[in-house]
Homo-oligomer: A and B are copies of this chain.
Amino acid sequence: MSMDLDFELNADRLREECGVFGIYGHPDAAALTALGLHALQHRGQEAAGIVSFDGERFQTERRLGLVGDHFSSEKVINRLQGSSALGHVRYSTTGETILRNVQPLFAELAAGGFAVAHNGNLTNGLTLRRELISQGAICQSTSDTEVILHLVARSQKSRIVERYIDALRSLEGAYALVALTNKKLIGARDPNGIRPLILGELNGAYILCSETCALDIIGAKYIREIENGEVVVISDDGIESLRPFPKTPARPCIFEYIYFSRPDSMLGGRSIYEVRKAMGRELARESAVAADVIVPIPDSGVPAALGFAQETGIPFELGIIRNHYVGRTFIEPTQTIRSLGVKLKHNANRAVVQGKRVVLVDDSIVRGTTSVKIVRMMYEAGAKEVHMRISSPPIKHPDFYGIDTPEQKSLLAATHTLEEMRQYIGVDSLAFLSVDGVYRSVGYEGRDNARPQFTDHCFTGDYPTHLTDLVGETKKQQLSLLAEAG
């Protein structure tokens, strides 16, 4: 039976918004894209889309739901003919989840078709949208990505790559973009390199994707990461690298290491799994505690808990068992079901925790609501002591670069001291990994406050870009069109 170290789809987690995958020059472009998106499914489960180009026309299939539910049939894949393809999985951070927001977005430009897929979030998207509409543009989606299409369509430059770079210069915020034209696959990463973008190769076909696990699933070779501020143009002539922005140091998002990337992915030359174990070891060094068992909160706390257990020598045990059949179910629960709350997903493994001093390990605390329930479950199962250890620092500031954080007042650490948090969660002790501990886990001596090596504003409040939309108005302007159902 199931061992329950599963990824937890709940309201008390951060959510990534997107994963992208593009391939140029392979006869099975669409099928490989579907597989790549499947490997990136953890980056977005609300919708998926693929655009392909068959040498004459673009085909597109966009669906709400999982890749495997819609892109696994020969029928669908056969509609996506061609040797280049571009795909996207998404959560919605900007724009409701309606079909016309599902990416890749596509436009018929004078020069031909142009599709684009976006991981990240613009911090001046609404400002740009208002300017475009005042110039007569018609926006059909509520996605900030559509703004990019309009900027390309309206650029005064003549060649498509120049028009695209012209558009990128207007953008502020985070983006890892892949675009597909009738002759090129184009990757771009914002000047800070906040969101990841990887270059790979399979039998001579180039691939641009969000994580290395999407290369692994199709047996492709890892080449390198696209650099911050780099634009890469893939065509029949090979790869060309452009640097349209002034050179600045990279500041990739630290949450890819802590939470978002798959443990089997490599990022910045590091194994995500080993970084997370290192975070657990650092945490054990910083905040050891006498205990009988180390219990991960499934599934996110598992690698850190292993690191913590290995550092301390205290046994790692599965003290919480997860029911795997929850993911997409009980969406409309009855009151009786609702009141049982966390039990639908988790059950205490009484044999492991009864009479024991338990260290619960998790990777982060957002609202803290789930932590409360799990801790109570541990005590009810007979735990003598419960200590909580979190393998990242307290989250005090919201994100505007594509992570779906709750508003600041809902972040437990933004409104509570450590001791207040301990009491709220109801544990005997609580400790977070320090910011420097995070940097040590990825191989630095600590955070370089003068030139921080990562985008880490959720912990530090240090945002790497302007926040134009936020300054211009306190909340997002409502569109006059309500989303249509279905």
Contact = CB atoms under 8 A, between A and B. Distances in A.
Contacts of A56: 480
A57 interface: yes
A350 B271 contact: yes
A407 interface: no
A260 interface: yes
A480 B58 contact: yes
A136 B108 contact: no
A134 to B, nearest CB: 4
A218 B107 CA distance: 42
Contacts of A260: 1
A140 interface: yes
A484 interface: yes
12 contacts: A4-B299, A57-B478, A68-B328, A72-B333, A75-B332, A110-B134, A112-B480, A136-B137, A213-B321, A213-B347, A263-B321, A273-B352
Given A3-B7, A69-B329, A108-B480, A140 B137 contact: no
Query: What is the total number of copies of this protein in its complex?
Result: 4
Contact of A336 (B31, B133, B334): B31
B264 A3 contact: no
A201 interface: no
Interface in A320-345: 321, 323-337, 340, 343-344
For the complex, would chain A's binding face be called helix, strand, loop or mixed by DSSP majority?
mixed
Contacts of A39: 323, 347
Given A31-B337, A263-B349, A323 B72 contact: no
A109 interface: yes
Contacts of A72: 329-334, 337
Contact of A263 (B3, B219, B259, B316): B3
